[in-house]
């Protein structure tokens, strides 16, 4: 699936449940993770647990950072490809732009959860297209 052409990302319910549970477990700090796709087209969520010091406006996935490179190496060993970066916002609504530094990767989706919704977790999907941030629909897989 190429972020340049897809306007909808279909996610299995168990994967979405893992993403939401990870966000809820870290409601007072940034929760980050990645979604990968294996060679059998199955999706996997990999929560990143060592992110408590990430500033609210800092990217979880800065390209060529040691954390990003380590995550890519792990996915390569597992024969998986990066599909999406996942992170939560704890103290503000989902008002995002491509130039705020939160979206350094052009070749993946971003799934953002917001805990600032009074009991309901909001999820949005995006991808970066150069200087623009484009929203995509997130759909739960049927079945």
Query: What value, to the nearest 5°, has the Cα angle with vertex 65 and ends 137 and 46?
Result: 50
Q: Domains of the chain (ranges plus CATH)? A: 8-140 (3.40.140.10)
d(CA 37, CA 24): 24
DSSP state of 2: -
How do residues 88-115 score in pLDDT, each as one tens digit? 876 655 455 545 555 556 678 888 887 6
d(CA 131, CA 101): 11
How do residues 43-86 score in pLDDT, each as one tens digit? 999 987 655 555 555 556 655 566 677 888 889 999 999 999 88
Candidates 135, 108, 122, 109; CA nearest to 23 is 122
Provide the whole-model pTM.
0.80
């Amino acid at each position: 699936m190429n972020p340049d052409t897809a306007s909808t990302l279909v996610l299995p319910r168990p994967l979405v449940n893992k993403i939401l549970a990870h966000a809820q477990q870290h409601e007072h700090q940034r929760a980050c993770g990645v979604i990968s796709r294996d060679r059998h087209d199955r999706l996997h969520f990999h929560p990143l647990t060592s992110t408590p010091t990430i500033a609210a406006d800092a990217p979880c996935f800065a390209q060529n950072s040691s954390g990003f490179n380590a995550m890519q190496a792990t996915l390569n060993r597992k024969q998986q490809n990066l599909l999406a970066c996942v992170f939560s916002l704890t103290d503000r609504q989902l008002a995002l732009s491509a130039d705020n530094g939160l979206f350094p990767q052009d070749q993946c989706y971003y799934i953002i959860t917001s805990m600032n919704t009074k009991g309901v977790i909001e999820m949005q999907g995006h991808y970066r297209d150069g200087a623009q941030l484009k929203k995509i629909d997130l759909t739960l897989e049927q079945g």
